[in-house]
């Protein structure tokens, strides 16, 4: 009899785990109260940003925060009512900001990032969906030379870890993206960025392929999980009880509730982001463009344009504040000549953000039949298929080709 593995969470991480587990011959049940690809894996910036290895906590960041917070168009906000509960996380986040830790985290992330395109190739080719990914690269812009120079240490670190980027002359930029206004700024070509036609569509497509090949789908909310040596037990809100041999928790920003029932909670918060998708933007953007000065991304998605970003710190169940989506449109208008901003779909997503900016890809410390795949923060879309492959190998007991110690669940235990 094939072993039965339940995967909780049908975002890009969970569906990638389910797909790989099913390919390895396990009986798989994927479980979510939403349809696949509807939560954080839907309205995001759609970029596969392999060179994004620098953690979010780094020396000097703290100096930028007051300016960001005071600027009504700024990239960051904290809901005052929710702030006290977030202090322990912020403390751990700040403690990860020294350069030695930054270098170690970037090196760990690079191990994952170096295989993300090959892992996408594997899944997209096997599911006849290679056309849903574009390998054009992306353009990073800085509004001033000074801001570019301030970020130089990050480019140097990326280069040491094997990721390329090169500066574009104003003429090159004009011919590549005629509608982009940059005046005295700096533009960099980032060849190690790809993008997807639509992240929700790709996630749903991978899930469907898994179901078409024998995977089971259960649409229900998990209320309780249990594990012992004889197996795992999952109970749902509607009263279902599913017994299996193994369990993967891939419930994104909600994973801590389930981890707390099996082990303990880890330092993760929901770092909210917003997007505005414009159905008739009136301009053509051949590449995703990320502003490092204003911290947001503009991504072409067929005839649509998606503008995504911002960091809002609020409780997991707080209502969205769609003023943040509107701010993104103003920021995009700053750069894009002729941008039309009617016909907009606004969206909010909750990034599962660890205090050390690294995901958890790990067996449980207490249960050898429970595995954790969450906490991918800003890069879950990029790292989904890679995480799926690594978790599936872990579940069947194959040794990982890279050192996964940096991604262990119990790395915060001390
Ligand atoms: C504005 C924005 C832009 C972004 N841009 C990018 C980008 O360009 N590139 C990139 O790589 N990443 C990007 N990200 C990050 C990326 O979207 C996330 O890292 C990724 O989607 C996380 O995937 P996930 O599967 O872990 O979580 P999710 O997609 O949130 O999936 C988790 C699933 O678990 C389910 N679930 C939770 N609890 C339960 C329960 N009790 N029972 C059953 N099901 C449950 C939820 O319903 C949900 O469907 C962006 C994020 C935001 C907000």
Q: Decide whether any atom of ligand 1 lies within 6 Å of the 33 Cβ.
A: yes
Q: Decide whether any atom of ligand 1 lies within 6 Å of the 306 Cβ.
A: no
Q: Which of 304, 48, 302 is nearest to 195 (CA)?
A: 48
17 pLDDT tier (thresholds 50, 70, 90): very high
Helix extents (H) in 178-292: 199-212, 255-262
Distance 176 CA to ligand 1 centre (A): 32
Tell the residue number behind the tokens 């209320």, with chain if given: 223
Q: For a pocket test of ligand 1, which of 190, 251, 357 has the largest count of ligand atoms closer than 8 A to its C-beta? A: 251
Distance 174 CA to ligand 1 centre (A): 35
Q: Decide whether any atom of ligand 1 lies within 6 Å of the 352 Cβ.
A: yes
Asked if 384 and 200 count as a contact pair (C-beta separation under 8 A), the reply is no
Q: pLDDT for 162-217, tens place per residue?
A: 999 999 999 999 999 999 999 899 999 999 999 999 999 999 999 999 999 999 99
Q: Which of 139, 144, 148 is nearest to 179 (CA)?
A: 139
Which SS3 state, helix, strand or coil, does residue 128 take? coil
Q: pLDDT for 376-406, tens place per residue?
A: 999 999 999 999 999 999 999 999 999 999 9
1 pLDDT tier (thresholds 50, 70, 90): low
Q: Which pLDDT does position 118 carry in this prediction?
A: 98
61 pLDDT tier (thresholds 50, 70, 90): confident
The whole model's pTM is what?
0.97
Euclidean distance between CA atoms 253 and 85, whole angstroms: 16
Euclidean distance between CA atoms 313 and 412, whole angstroms: 22
Which residues, at least 6 apart from 283, have a Cβ–Cβ distance to it below 8 Å?
179, 305, 336, 337, 338, 339, 340
In terms of residue numbers, what domain contains 372?
4-412
Total number of domains in the chain? 1
Euclidean distance between CA atoms 248 and 230, whole angstroms: 16
Q: Which pLDDT does position 36 carry in this prediction?
A: 98
Q: pLDDT for 347-366, tens place per residue?
A: 999 999 999 999 999 999 99
Helix axes 12-23, 199-212, angle to 10 degrees: 30
Which of the pair, 79 or 245, is modelled with greater confidence?
245
Q: How distant, in Å, are the alpha carbons of 67, 87, 267 from that of 90?
A: 18, 5, 9
223 CA: nearest ligand 1 atom: 41
CATH at residue 208: 3.50.50.60
Euclidean distance between CA atoms 184 and 379, whole angstroms: 30
Average pLDDT over residues 118-132: 98
In this structure, the number of other CB atoms found within 10 A of the CB of residue 184 comes to 9
């Amino acid at each position: 009899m094939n072993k039965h593995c339940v995967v909780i969470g049908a975002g890009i991480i969970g569906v990638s785990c389910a797909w790989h587990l099913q390919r390895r011959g396990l009986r798989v049940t994927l479980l979510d109260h939403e349809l696949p690809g509807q939560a954080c894996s839907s309205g995001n910036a759609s970029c596969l940003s392999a060179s994004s290895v620098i953690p979010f906590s780094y020396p000097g960041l703290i100096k930028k925060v007051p300016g960001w917070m005071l600027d009504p168009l700024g990239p960051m906000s904290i809901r005052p009512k929710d702030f006290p509960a977030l202090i322990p996380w912020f403390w751990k986040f700040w403690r990860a900001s020294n350069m030695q830790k930054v270098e170690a985290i970037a090196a760990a992330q690079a191990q994952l990032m170096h295989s993300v395109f090959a892992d996408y190739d594997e899944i997209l080719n096997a599911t006849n969906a290679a056309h849903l990914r574009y390998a054009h690269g992306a353009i990073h812009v800085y509004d001033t030379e000074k801001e570019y120079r301030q970020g130089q240490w990050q480019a140097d670190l990326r280069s040491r870890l094997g990721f390329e980027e090169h500066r574009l002359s104003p003429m090159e930029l004009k011919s590549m993206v005629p509608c982009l206004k940059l005046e005295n700024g700096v533009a960099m070509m980032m060849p190690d960025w790809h993008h997807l036609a639509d992240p929700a569509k790709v996630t749903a497509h991978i899930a469907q392929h898994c179901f078409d090949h024998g995977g089971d789908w259960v649409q229900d909310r998990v209320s309780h999980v249990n594990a012992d040596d004889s197996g795992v037990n999952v109970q749902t809100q509607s009263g279902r009880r599913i017994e299996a041999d193994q369990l993967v928790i891939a419930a994104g920003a909600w994973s801590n509730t389930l981890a707390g029932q099996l082990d303990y909670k880890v330092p993760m918060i929901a770092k909210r982001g917003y997007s505005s998708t414009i159905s008739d933007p009136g301009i053509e953007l051949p590449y995703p463009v990320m502003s490092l000065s204003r911290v947001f991304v503009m991504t072409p998605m067929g005839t649509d344009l998606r503008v995504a970003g911002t960091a809002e710190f609020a409780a997991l169940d707080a209502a969205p504040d769609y003023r943040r989506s509107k701010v993104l449109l103003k920021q995009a208008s700053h750069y894009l000549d002729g941008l039309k901003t009617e016909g907009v779909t606004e969206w909010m997503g909750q990034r599962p953000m660890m205090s050390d900016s690294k995901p958890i890809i790990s067996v449980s410390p207490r249960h050898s039949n429970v595995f954790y795949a969450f906490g991918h923060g800003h890069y879950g879309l990029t790292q989904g298929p890679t995480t799926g492959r690594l978790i599936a190998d872990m579940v069947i007991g194959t040794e990982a080709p890279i050192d996964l110690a940096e991604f262990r669940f119990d790395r915060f235990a001390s």
